[in-house]
Structure 1
Amino acid sequence: MGQGLDLYSLIGFLLLLGVATKNSILIVYTVAERLREIEAPDFLTFINVVVEAGVRRLRPIIMTSMGPARLRYVSNFSRRRVGGR
């Protein structure tokens, strides 16, 4: 508590921002691809396709989002001194 943002925090933030942007683009691409397969999509079909794309992409989103978070967590432990000081 009381720690400011250092260079590692800013790099991690930029990484997470990039991952979030990439994942949102992939969800939109998946929805567009699925809607091309349907001849005349109505609103309910559109909602179902969006939910299906979100469920389908949830695991990859969690996996790619947790990578930079784990890296930051490990780097915190590596900078601690022996003896907890």
Structure 2
Amino acid sequence: MSNQLLMSTRSSTVSGTQTLDAPSSRASGSVMSKPLTIDTMKNLYSADQQVKFLHLHAEVETLLLELQTIKQQRQETTSPA
């Protein structure tokens, strides 16, 4: 339940100026990254794909926060007091 709350909160705070890394055209055999704004993404992908992406992005952020919390709790329990 808390995951859903965090996910919905996180997804509702995504701003239009957020940038994402996206591969650009290949230059001399390597993939170069350039920032991809939400506005640019709106032009490239359909609305349902954007919604799926934003939900996945929010879920990843939530899982990363949970992982950081678990790591911190483990450090606190293993460190001598």
TM-score, scaled relative to structure 1? 0.41
RCO higher in structure (CA 8 A, sep ≥6): 1
TM-score, scaled relative to structure 2? 0.43
Higher strand share: 2
Higher helix share: 1
